[in-house]
Amino acid sequence: MQRETYILRSISLVVAVVGVVTAAGCSADKPSREFTVPKALCGVSVPVDALSRLLPASGKKLTTEAEGSTDDALLCTVDVDDVMVLALSRERIVAGDSARHILYTQLRVTQPKFTEGTSIAYVDHAAVSLLKCRGAGVEEEDISTLVKVLKPARPNESAMKSLISAYTATVKKQGPCKKT
């Protein structure tokens, strides 16, 4: 009888401790996001919801910076509280490479998913898209876009797919194949 009482008290104590820890975890301050999620990255509109799901859950100040030109090579970075959390690069490349190969050679990603046939390859923390430039008055080449999220940003496969797909569609509408 005494052993059963000891076991019941031990179980009650464990339940009480777990309850206090759980309650403390629930009442703790949730991370707050004080920055505004941008509607565009380096002049290209992006889905705010998708970008929001990739950016850190908290932070005070978001800044974006662009280096290069939209004609040849562009690097766009997003910093939250002075820490780079997202990098997007876009460049003209020799025709014939694949999104999968670029994702592998640049980031060692081996099992991407695909959309738009095989012109977009993505995983939860990175994506690559290819726009094929072909036809009259256009130099035969491709335009590659690579997106990578860095900690403390949050990997999210569906958000990455949405971001790279929408970004690529907007770039395509801008007619990037013809150099100005």
Give the separation between CA 177 and CA 163, rounded to whole angstroms: 21
Co-location of 49 and 129 in the same domain? yes
What is the tally of structural domains in the chain? 2
* CA 146 to each of CA 36, 87, 95, 137: distance values in angstroms, whole numbers, following the listed order: 23, 8, 16, 26
Co-location of 74 and 130 in the same domain? yes
Is residue 167 a part of any domain in this protein? yes
Co-location of 25 and 48 in the same domain? no
Residue by residue, pLDDT tens for the chain (180 residues) are: 443 433 334 344 333 333 433 344 444 556 688 999 999 998 899 999 999 999 999 999 999 999 987 677 899 999 999 999 999 999 999 888 899 999 999 999 988 999 867 799 999 999 999 999 887 666 688 999 999 999 999 999 999 999 999 999 999 998 888 764
Co-location of 11 and 84 in the same domain? no
Is residue 180 a part of any domain in this protein? no
User: Hey, what are 33's tokens?
Assistant: 């996001």
Is residue 178 a part of any domain in this protein? no
User: Hey, what are 136's tokens?
Assistant: 């009259």
pTM, entire model: 0.78
Co-location of 49 and 8 in the same domain? no
Co-location of 22 and 110 in the same domain? no
pLDDT of residue 9: 43
CB 130 within 8 A of CB 172: no
Question: CA torsion angle for 13, 19, 25, 26 (degrees, to 10)?
Answer: -170
pLDDT of residue 17: 35
Domain housing 87: 40-173
- Angle among Cα 102, 151, 26 to the nearest 5 degrees reads 140
Co-location of 69 and 133 in the same domain? yes
Co-location of 85 and 149 in the same domain? yes
Co-location of 16 and 93 in the same domain? no
Is residue 123 a part of any domain in this protein? yes
Is residue 35 a part of any domain in this protein? no
* CA 104 to each of CA 43, 79, 99: distance values in angstroms, whole numbers, following the listed order: 27, 25, 9
Co-location of 25 and 45 in the same domain? no
CB 152 within 8 A of CB 83: yes
